[in-house]
Structure 1
């Protein structure tokens, strides 16, 4: 039956503060709307009344809030609160695996339960059939023969079953892949599985017309990913939001790279964070009034939780810490802190502007003017660009669109994108450009600059022609 020794209640996401009551008594609480929370509820037996009470105050910018705003409009969206990710229970043995961290490169997978008392076996399904490896002191190293590497062209996953001597069983998977930086023809390049790779991506806000941050069905994640792939994109920049695990597992399975943002807290100034940078004033102190000491402390805690929660998903190759100065503080030391948490991925410390030289990437946003890149010792990524408006009749939420440059038809939109990529993005590859993120995957409320409408019913661009535009986005390895 279901009942074993321990019953766990999992709350994958409740914005922002949640208190759990069982049979009218407080059983636990959690802060943070984008992080998982697990509670041992074994003592309450087989039948009980569960009540979750959530609170969310966007007037307080201590907790990460992303693009939510009480007064929505433009690039700020309708706020959400309460339960927005799965709530579920499971029953496990008295001694069970609480954590599973999987770290891989091109040759091996290192699996760590973070508990040295665990011993057992791991059965891995390889292309040649199942193979068993020992689990000793809570760890195992898997070195498949003839390793098959994960990439968007071949998103191969090694499924495995971990069995402990204490009676617990875990089903999971890993992928062999490696992201690094290497000098190629005198320029520092992003390298996937040992070869220079151009990351052609879309900004993905993760908002839906019928559920805000939550889609009507998990199949919507797959639909968005498949739409992006069909148009020739290989990367999604998950923007200022942490998705349910189902999203990342779909990216793993379907072959979509993820550039994952940390979710911003702290304060935002339209003048200093948006208006002035967009007309060329991109210098700002990294120790300004954007965050209070408490906000900085909470941000670092949530950053650590995000890394721990998402570490084992192979699709994630790249972390973005701060976006356009929102809540930004001490980006250099924060980047160093993140590297200690995860030395295996690329770090973008300051996406857009207010770059203090931290992290691995020179990360630039360009709207409303041509792309010009200043040479940098780091690889260059155009982490936001385009954003051209095309409002599809009967598929918009607001008559006042928001974006960067209006187009009146699918054909006009296609021509603008073609000009951007063929005349600006592609020629910049020879100057050090390693990736470009187009704004954006879908329309969101006032923003009608998506490649699909907010209701996901209309794809605004022809797939064949888009793939043709992107055919030249290649970096030579010579």
Structure 2
């Protein structure tokens, strides 16, 4: 399978390569640096829709709802000096039922180093814990812990320190939130979405994250956050991030502003059979072994990358049968890998009786035509109606697809 690939070279020495275009990667370039000036080159190969890799809405011949493909680097790039031994990743899991937070701290060392985690409400220390040998730190939160919601997006500050022989050798600052996403069968036998153990109606746009002046990349951070602020202004409490993964800052803005996120896998590919109005009884896409392995690898990397953002409520592995394969198996894996969130098997079908959500699409709609008492039944997409105002469209097009 032809896949997206990046190579990094420093002073004509190749220091590494990375496949998969939706998650961050890094390389240690210390050993090839010279005093004074250095040349750093990033080479990118992107076959767009000629490859089998996840690509979202990118195609070589953009038209209708299919967009100009992105080439090169579209997320933030930076250089960072670190200690010889340092913290590489944090994974935080809140549990409001047991009033605790689990923090898993990864470092580039395997020795019996101690990690210490402190949690703050503003400047007030409210929880503290430590662990050795990579064991997760379990933190007991205050009895009156503040819960995160779109109406009150409270974030606890977090400070994590790595110790070697009793001496602090690295420290990072982060944040976490106390919140829970679930489903529950309630009145009249209807299963509903819940936030913090209470029924919560989620309402928001299909946010595709394309920019006329940068495609996948917002021109400024102010532009990135503006869309989210307007989403809140319009009265929405969630966004579905549609077949795209955003830079880290976008998710932090959602955490801070109080917007629930449904996160899609940016899957592309053929959908030879799509049964949107009934449960699927046909033949799914048959992927090559390389294509299937690539999907699984990138989906895991996306979940790993975004796991600790409190605003993310739902994982969406497929959209409208685009490249959809082995749905019950993929859904079961996703649910097992992250049991703290809901899984929406296939937004708009093909529909299987698995996961937490039955997601219907109807254009222009709205219309609900299926129902599942065991899962939350949602209207995942409808509308698609555009107002074309002359002089205010990126392309001078009098027509509109919707």
Q: Which 5+ residue runs of structure 2 have no aligned equivalent?
A: none
CA distance in 1, matches of 2:283, 2:100: 39
Q: Encode CA deviations 1:242-283: one digit per residue, 9 max, x unaligned.
A: 0000000000011111000011033245xx44xx75xx5774
> Within the alignment, does 1:77 sit opposite 2:67 as a pair?
yes
Match of 1:111 in 2: 103
Q: How far apart are residue 239 of structure 1 and its match?
A: 0.2
Q: How far apart are residue 392 of structure 1 and its match?
A: 2.0
Q: Encode CA deviations 1:96-137: one digit per residue, 9 max, x unaligned.
A: 111211011222211001467331422322258124613212
Q: Which 5+ residue runs of structure 1 have no aligned equivalent?
A: 1-14, 405-478
> Within the alignment, does 1:265 sit opposite 2:268 as a pair?
yes
Contact preservation (8 Å) 1:104, 1:175:
yes
Match of 1:309 in 2: 305
Match of 2:92 in 1: 102
CA distance in 2, matches of 1:298, 1:259: 22
> Within the alignment, does 1:123 sit opposite 2:118 as a pair?
yes
What SS is found at the alignment partner of 1:36? coil
Query: TM-score, length-normalised on structure 2?
Result: 0.90
Moved over 4 A (4+): none
User: How many residues are aligned here?
Assistant: 383
CA 282–391 in structure 1, closer or farther in 2 if over 3 Å, else same: farther
Q: How far apart are residue 142 of structure 1 and its match?
A: 2.3
What SS is found at the alignment partner of 2:89? coil
Q: How far apart are residue 141 of structure 1 and its match?
A: 1.9
What SS is found at the alignment partner of 1:200? coil
> Within the alignment, does 1:395 sit opposite 2:396 as a pair?
no
CA 300–120 in structure 1, closer or farther in 2 if over 3 Å, else same: closer
Match of 1:51 in 2: 41
Contact preservation (8 Å) 1:238, 1:259:
yes
Match of 1:158 in 2: 156
CA distance in 1, matches of 2:359, 2:218: 30
Instruction: Give the alignment of 1:58-457 within 5 angstroms.
Output: 58-106=48-96, 107-114=99-106, 117-126=112-121, 129-131=124-126, 133-137=128-132, 138=134, 139-145=136-142, 146-166=144-164, 167-185=169-187, 186-269=189-272, 272-273=273-274, 277=276, 283=280, 285-289=282-286, 291-376=287-372, 377-396=374-393, 397-404=395-402
**Structure with a larger share of its residues in helix:** 1
What SS is found at the alignment partner of 2:26? strand
Match of 1:5 in 2: none
Match of 2:30 in 1: 42
Q: How far apart are residue 286 of structure 1 and its match?
A: 4.8
Point out the more displaced range, 134-143 or 156-165.
134-143
The Cα RMSD (Å) is: 1.9
CA distance in 2, matches of 1:333, 1:114: 29
Q: Encode CA deviations 1:300-342: one digit per residue, 9 max, x unaligned.
A: 1100000000000000000101000000001101001111211
Q: How far apart are residue 26 of structure 1 and its match?
A: 1.0
Point out the more displaced range, 295-304 or 129-138.
129-138
CA 298–120 in structure 1, closer or farther in 2 if over 3 Å, else same: closer
Contact preservation (8 Å) 1:21, 1:28:
yes
Point out the more displaced range, 57-66 or 331-340.
57-66
Q: Encode CA deviations 1:174-222: one digit per residue, 9 max, x unaligned.
A: 0000011112112211110010000001100000111111011011121
What SS is found at the alignment partner of 1:165? strand
CA 281–341 in structure 1, closer or farther in 2 if over 3 Å, else same: closer
Match of 1:412 in 2: none
Contact preservation (8 Å) 1:126, 1:144:
no
